[in-house]
Amino acid sequence: MDRLTTICVFIIGFKIVSSNLSKYTRLEGDNLIVRCNATVLPHIDVYWAKIDSRQPYRQKGTDLLIFNIDRTYSGQYVCYALNMTDAPYFNATGTNVTIDVITVDVEYPPRPVWGQLFSFEGSVGEPAKLTFNFSSNPRPKTIWSRPNGQQIRAAINDWQDRTELEWDGLNPVKVSDFGNYSVTLQNEYGTYTATMQLTADGFPEAPRDVHIYNVTDNSVTVRWTSGFDMGSHQRFLVLKLYNGNSFSTLTDFINDNSTTHGINQTWTYVVDGLTKNTFYNISVVAINEQKRMSRFSMPPTTFTTSGSPNTFDLLHPVSTGIVVGVALGSVILILGISAVLLFLLKWRRMRTSYEKA
């Protein structure tokens, strides 16, 4: 079969415009009609095929008709003329002739790809990424921001089909990095804004600034400052440390009822049931609902309980009744001793007078 002379035209609405273009650009939702004008003979079939194994497309006839076109139609299309005389030997020389090759480029506003995640986890001191995968033609301009103008510490990486925030080993995640991020994508056809979130995943921060006071024979008051619970409700334990890595608990779980995930909160707790006259080496830890325990508070805090519950403690005032009772008893004792001394002195004088007589 002689090679066919071809004229390709495309039709917009009802108007046919002659063109020698090899590329056709359309906005998503528009129509595309391209005609492969060939001499149609009884033994010749003309058809269009898309060169794309992911989105196969084949249409018989001289006209390539695509209405309400979407982004999946982007790609290359070939107009073939098939000599049916040689069928089924379609691969024979001169049987399947390429008439023309065109490129269809569908443009559209930016949108996230199917299955895009909007929440990612990170751990303090570790690398992390927030990745937004999108589809857009032409490629959009991307803008990252945080609520209230907070600083973004991560590096911004832009690619053809995604944009990301990255914390690497030299710039790992900090507590201040957790929270919401806004990413805006914009091209000439539209704008898309998404809220991304970096949530904490890891061990809660160790309690710090541990102090003790009001030490008695069987109790002590412990005060500490808590840290970030990594987004999972935490509780505290006061531990008694022994040589090596062994320890025992001195308290039940102490709940963190703050609304700030424990950040910079001060806690005070009275630990009782202690043994008198005993040395203690204590530390405080946090355990969140993910069953992850923080490091021990450092440095450990030491104290020794008093030897007697009657030991006077300026930090534990004695009740008024006891003070009055002790004072009254002391007065009675002093009066009794004075009376005895006065009797002895008087008796001695009487004896001296008798001896002189």
Q: What is the pLDDT along the chain (357 residues), one digit of tens a residue?
A: 333 333 444 333 333 333 456 899 999 999 999 988 666 677 788 889 998 767 678 888 888 999 999 998 999 999 888 877 655 544 444 567 888 889 999 999 999 999 999 999 998 889 999 999 999 999 999 999 998 889 999 999 999 999 999 999 999 998 889 989 999 999 999 999 999 999 888 889 999 999 999 999 999 999 999 998 888 889 999 999 998 678 999 999 999 998 888 989 999 999 999 999 999 999 999 999 888 899 999 998 999 999 876 544 444 554 555 555 656 666 676 776 767 666 666 666 655 554 545
Name residues whose C-beta falls within 8 Å of residue 34's C-beta, 6 or more positions apart in sequence.
Answer: 8, 9, 10, 11, 24, 48, 63, 64, 77, 102
Asked if residue 211 lies in contact with residue 262, where contact means CB atoms within 8 angstroms, the answer is: no
Q: Cα separation of 41 and 58, whole Å? A: 20
Cα-Cα-Cα-Cα torsion 270, 275, 278, 283, nearest 10 degrees, comes to: -40
Report the run of H or E that residue 273 belongs to, with start and end.
none
Residues 6+ apart with CB under 8 A from 215: 303, 304, 305, 306, 313
